[in-house]
Amino acid sequence: MKEAVLRLLKEHQPEYVSGEELCKVLDVTRTAVWKHIQTLREDGYDIDARPRVGYLLVGIPDRLYAEEICNGLTTEFIARQVFYFSSLSSTNDLAKKLSSNVVGVSNGSIVVAEEQTGGRGRLGRKWFSLKYKAICFSLILYPPVNPSEASQVTMVTAVALAIAIRKETGVRVGIKWPNDLLVGGKKLCGILTELGAEIDKINYLIVGAGININQEPGEFPEDVRDTATSLKIEMGVTVNRVKLLQAILIEFEQWYKIWLEQGFPKILTKWKELTVSLQCPVRINAVDRSWDGWAVDVDQDGALLLRLPDGQLQRVVAGDVSLRI
């Protein structure tokens, strides 16, 4: 019901809407309307109340509420169902639980959290996010492809994120193989794709992304202070997270459809245009060893082709390795 009150307030902006009208349209008492107004205020909405005039929505908080994400969102199936949390261990973990539920959640559903207390990267590494300063979300997908093709979704996501961030903010983000977005060599965003599958069938695919948005330099944990950046650091202004997330979801849907309908080569071409980790010297760190070489190309399966100092070409698959540029 508070959603309905909010919708009416938005529809009437910049005019006041009378308490009487709210009662009539929503078929509730004045006390009920007042309670919903109070709840909205507690959620951070700035609402002016004038005796005998009514209510005016003065300000919308910078929160990733479902109503805000969905407001004007033009996607067909991405984020049609939104699970919002003020705090959560990990959006990927919850997305996994939801997608394995007997009562299934729909393709494209999103889990979003203002803060993660157990945010994860690959190989069990930590992903840090300061409350209200980042965008952390996971999409639940059921792509009708073979499990061997699932890792391509990381590249689809990297392409969509890079394009949306460039369009929306003008910041020249580049993709670092296999799952990061960088600005000026510093990490802005990480992507974590996880899969639930049988030998020849994907049961669910979760693609999670963490994007640093409005952190100040001193707000990163010491471990990553020298290697991380945020859009605010790059641009010097605060970024509207809802608007950016909407742009990301729209872009993601487009590229995900291109991938399903036209195949991986289209994605790979765009990925190569946007990468900063090809035609440069790199170091690949695996658990027990590392290779220095020249990043030559990425093949049709998304594996990195590395020219070793002895001239041999080494094929490196994402998974258990990290890349240093």
Interface positions with ligand BTN (CB under 6 A):
90-92, 116, 119-122, 127, 136, 138, 179-180, 190-192, 208-210
CB neighbour list of residue 8: distance below 8 Å, 6 or more residues apart: 17, 21, 22, 25, 26
Q: How far is the CB of 322 from ligand BTN (least distance, A)?
A: 9
Q: State the amino acid at position 153 in one-letter form.
A: V
Q: How far is the CB of 112 from ligand BTN (least distance, A)?
A: 9
Span interacting with ligand ATP, options 26-34, 50-58, 116-124, 238-246, rule CB under 6 A: 116-124
Q: How far is the CB of 178 from ligand ATP (least distance, A)?
A: 8
Residue nearest to ligand BTN according to CB distances in the complex: 190
Q: How far is the CB of 207 from ligand BTN (least distance, A)?
A: 9
- Complex with ligand BTN: residue 9 or 211, whichever CB lies closer: 211
- Complex with ligand ATP: residue 210 or 293, whichever CB lies closer: 210
Residue nearest to ligand ATP according to CB distances in the complex: 121
- Complex with ligand ATP: residue 89 or 254, whichever CB lies closer: 89
Q: Give the sign of the dihedral formed by CA 113, CA 118, CA 234, CA 249.
A: negative
Among ligand BTN, ligand ATP, none, the one that 208 touches (CB under a kind-dependent 5 to 8 A) is ligand BTN
Question: Does residue 133 touch ligand ATP according to CB under 6 A?
Answer: no
Q: How far is the CB of 117 from ligand BTN (least distance, A)?
A: 10
Q: How far is the CB of 268 from ligand ATP (least distance, A)?
A: 20
Measured distance CA(68)–CA(1) in Å, rounded: 15
Q: Give the sign of the dihedral formed by CA 235, CA 238, CA 240, CA 245.
A: positive
Question: Does residue 212 touch ligand ATP according to CB under 6 A?
Answer: yes
Token pair 């080569």 is at which residue? 265
Q: How far is the CB of 96 from ligand BTN (least distance, A)?
A: 10
CB neighbour list of residue 28: distance below 8 Å, 6 or more residues apart: 1, 22
The strand pair at 134-141 and 174-176 is best described as unpaired
Phi-psi group of 33: left, alpha or beta (phi > 0 → left; psi -120 to 50 → alpha; rest → beta): alpha
Measured distance CA(68)–CA(3) in Å, rounded: 10
Do the beta carbons of residue 248 and residue 230 sit within 8 Å?
no
Among 23, 49, 224, 278, binds ligand ATP (CB under 6 A): 224
Question: Does residue 121 touch ligand ATP according to CB under 6 A?
Answer: yes
Span interacting with ligand ATP, options 58-66, 179-187, 196-204, 308-316, rule CB under 6 A: 179-187
| Helix pair 19-26, 2-12: axis angle to 10 deg | 130
> Minimal CA–CA distance to 79: which of 256, 217, 214?
256
- Complex with ligand BTN: residue 90 or 107, whichever CB lies closer: 90
Span interacting with ligand ATP, options 25-33, 122-130, 155-163, 247-255, rule CB under 6 A: 122-130
Question: Does residue 232 touch ligand ATP according to CB under 6 A?
Answer: no
Among ligand BTN, ligand ATP, none, the one that 138 touches (CB under a kind-dependent 5 to 8 A) is ligand BTN
Measured distance CA(30)–CA(281) in Å, rounded: 68
Measured distance CA(117)–CA(126) in Å, rounded: 10
Among 45, 55, 84, 127, binds ligand ATP (CB under 6 A): 127
Span interacting with ligand ATP, options 95-103, 123-131, 152-160, 295-303, rule CB under 6 A: 123-131
H helices of the chain, in order, are 2-12, 19-26, 30-42, 66-70, 91-99, 152-169, 231-235, 241-262, 264-274
